A and B are shown apart, each in its own frame.
Chain A
Amino acid sequence: MIASDKTLIRLNGLSKHYGRLTVLDGIDLEVKAGEVLAIIGPSGSGKSTLLRCINYLEPPDGGTITVDDIVIDAGNPIGRAALSGLRRRVGMVFQSFNLFPHMSVLRNISLPQERVLGRSRKEADARSMQLLSRVGLADKAEQFPIRCSGGQQQRIAIARALALDPEVMLFDEPTSALDPELGLEVLAVMRELAKSGMTMIVVTHEMGFAENVSDTVMIMADGNIVEKGPSKEIMRNPQHERTKRFLRAVHDR
């Protein structure tokens, strides 16, 4: 269900090394507007690093990143305007939620809007409440994050990222720190988000999500893309030996 043919994200030869270790070995990737891409693969394959390079939490050391009209050549030091442009367009959700524990849930979502987008407190709070309702947590607005379950915290973190109106959302193993039940409520929010047409790149171990919600699945190993294609095809009929081995291991659990 990809909404358009417009390419929103394009990576060309993106590479990252830690000393002599190659973490990303020249990744080429295109993601269309409205596409939901799931990235799966064994630990240490470079999935998370790829995600973190896209919004420059880890600066890549080679290749180019294009997001919407922002083009970044990783070979050169990044300019301030390009970096803030990139961060404006890209929202991110972390495995460990990373809410600010000294602020109420509402402040967590409103503060970035005020500081980054220059919204007034009133505007920001209105938007925050709207998003809290959307993730089913309007009643938690005045609570502190510690009073919320992990699943609730992750839904709040999603609302916080959405409040800045990003063009694309990155999810870095959003349910890995949650028990299966709490993971489910987060996945429900992500499914709704996918339906609404949000462009999403999701690093995940949730094979159900990869198969049923995402449009495209990409398998990574050793810093390379092993295989990429329509999710149902890849999940049900993988071509590559490395993919088959990985999916077998997942299913045997």
Chain B
Amino acid sequence: MLPDFTEITAWMPDLMSGFKISLQVTFFSLLIGIPFGLVLALGVMAKGRVIRAISLFAVEVGRGAPALVLLQFIYVGLPSAGLMVGSFMAAIAALAWNTGAYTSEIIRASLLSIPSGQREAAEALGMKRLDELRFILLPQGLRVALPALLGFSILIFQSTSLCFTIALPELVSRAYEIGSITFRYFPVLLLAGLLYASISIPAALLVDFIEKRAGKFASR
């Protein structure tokens, strides 16, 4: 059942190139998705009705639809509307949307966790709303949100495996490819799983560590 040494050396180059694509998709999805989440969070909290409605729609669709459906929707749906997207771009767009929708709720909740007295103080001091956000709410809110954001980032990394459904040559696709040639599905998927774990487990430990340190300024 286990892959032997020659198999590992034979499969590794393909698996590693898939692994690299998984990491790239994760990186860009988060790079775009988390700032998008901040924008959506502010949009949902905005006073203007139109902005709020648009933001809410983007959040509800992004959270409501499974990542798999978003992927298909963008990869298959958009070309039929005349907009061609490659599988790499489609993967990033779908996962960034998913990330934005979920992280907007994480960010919104952490901004709301800042005691309202601080906002009143900033207001009474005559600080502009943007300054209040930049200097008072965001520095504290993001510190609160950080562990949850990192935790979600691990989930997105794992979600990149769904991209095999849109023919993106990421880790799971490459493993399947090897499996379909060698019929050694279990050993090659086991290897792929170990590669996911090599990132996810240390990252989860890092989240625990950061969680313990976050908000240290607020304790004696």
Chain A contact residues, CB within 8 Å of chain B: 55, 57, 84, 87-88, 90-92, 94, 96, 98-102, 111-112, 115-116, 144, 146-147, 157, 160-161, 164
Q: Are B218 and A92 in contact, with the CB atoms below 8 A?
A: no
Q: Are A102 and B126 in contact, with the CB atoms below 8 A?
A: no
**Given A55-B124, A100-B136: 16 more A-B contacts, CB < 8 Å:** A87-B124, A87-B126, A91-B125, A92-B121, A92-B124, A96-B117, A100-B118, A100-B135, A101-B118, A102-B143, A112-B125, A112-B127, A115-B127, A144-B217, A147-B220, A157-B121
The residue that B121 contacts in the complex, of A94, A144, A147, with Cβ under 8 A, is: A94
Best-surrounded residue of A91, A115, A164 (most CB of chain B within 10 A):
A115
Cβ of A57: which chain B residues have Cβ within 8 Å of it?
120, 123-124
Cβ of A96: which chain B residues have Cβ within 8 Å of it?
117
The residue that B135 contacts in the complex, of A99, A115, A146, A164, with Cβ under 8 A, is: A115
Q: Are A84 and B126 in contact, with the CB atoms below 8 A?
A: yes
Whose C-beta in chain A lies nearest to the C-beta of B139? Answer: A102
Q: Is B7 close to A, CB under 8 A?
A: no
Q: Are B220 and A146 in contact, with the CB atoms below 8 A?
A: yes
Shortest Cβ distance from residue B120 to the other chain A in the assembled complex, whole angstroms: 6
B103-128: which have CB < 8 Å to A?
115, 117-118, 120-128
Q: Are B120 and A146 in contact, with the CB atoms below 8 A?
A: no
The residue that B117 contacts in the complex, of A90, A98, A112, with Cβ under 8 A, is: A98
Q: Are B220 and A94 in contact, with the CB atoms below 8 A?
A: no
Whose C-beta in chain B lies nearest to the C-beta of A80? Answer: B128
Shortest Cβ distance from residue B48 to the other chain A in the assembled complex, whole angstroms: 15
Cβ of B136: which chain A residues have Cβ within 8 Å of it?
100
Shortest Cβ distance from residue B208 to the other chain A in the assembled complex, whole angstroms: 22
Q: Are A102 and B120 in contact, with the CB atoms below 8 A?
A: no
Enumerate the 5 nearest inter-chain pairs by beta-carbon distance, A residue then B residue, closest first.
A87-B126, A98-B121, A98-B117, A92-B124, A112-B125
Give the secondary structure class of B's interface. Answer: helix
Cβ of B118: which chain A residues have Cβ within 8 Å of it?
98, 100-101
Q: Are B126 and A146 in contact, with the CB atoms below 8 A?
A: no
The residue that B140 contacts in the complex, of A90, A94, A101, A112, with Cβ under 8 A, is: A101
Shortest Cβ distance from residue A101 to the other chain B in the assembled complex, whole angstroms: 6
Q: State the total of A-B contacts with C-beta under 8 angstroms.
A: 64
The residue that B126 contacts in the complex, of A101, A112, A144, A157, with Cβ under 8 A, is: A112
Given A57-B120, A100-B136, also A146-B217 (CB < 8 A): yes
Q: Is B60 close to A, CB under 8 A?
A: no
Cβ of A161: which chain B residues have Cβ within 8 Å of it?
124-125
Chain B contact residues, CB within 8 Å of chain A: 115, 117-118, 120-128, 131, 135-136, 139-140, 143, 217-220
Q: Are B135 and A111 in contact, with the CB atoms below 8 A?
A: yes
Q: Are B125 and A160 in contact, with the CB atoms below 8 A?
A: yes
Shortest Cβ distance from residue B173 to the other chain A in the assembled complex, whole angstroms: 45
Alpha-carbon gap, A182 to B135, bound state (A): 30
Cβ of A144: which chain B residues have Cβ within 8 Å of it?
217
Alpha-carbon gap, A116 to B128, bound state (A): 8
Q: Are A146 and B127 in contact, with the CB atoms below 8 A?
A: no
Q: Are B123 and A88 in contact, with the CB atoms below 8 A?
A: no
Cβ of A147: which chain B residues have Cβ within 8 Å of it?
220
Alpha-carbon gap, A146 to B217, bound state (A): 8
Cβ of A116: which chain B residues have Cβ within 8 Å of it?
125-127
Cβ of A100: which chain B residues have Cβ within 8 Å of it?
118, 121-122, 135-136
Shortest Cβ distance from residue A207 to the other chain B in the assembled complex, whole angstroms: 26
Q: Are A101 and B128 in contact, with the CB atoms below 8 A?
A: no
Given A57-B124, A87-B124, also A146-B117 (CB < 8 A): no
Alpha-carbon gap, A144 to B139, bound state (A): 15
Q: Are B128 and A115 in contact, with the CB atoms below 8 A?
A: yes
Shortest Cβ distance from residue A234 to the other chain B in the assembled complex, whole angstroms: 28
Cβ of B115: which chain A residues have Cβ within 8 Å of it?
98
Alpha-carbon gap, A157 to B140, bound state (A): 19
Given A101-B217, A102-B140, A102-B217, also A94-B125 (CB < 8 A): no
Alpha-carbon gap, A252 to B216, bound state (A): 45
Alpha-carbon gap, A157 to B136, bound state (A): 15
Cβ of A91: which chain B residues have Cβ within 8 Å of it?
124-125
Q: Are A94 and B117 in contact, with the CB atoms below 8 A?
A: yes
Best-surrounded residue of B123, B125, B139 (most CB of chain A within 10 A):
B125
Shortest Cβ distance from residue A168 to the other chain B in the assembled complex, whole angstroms: 12
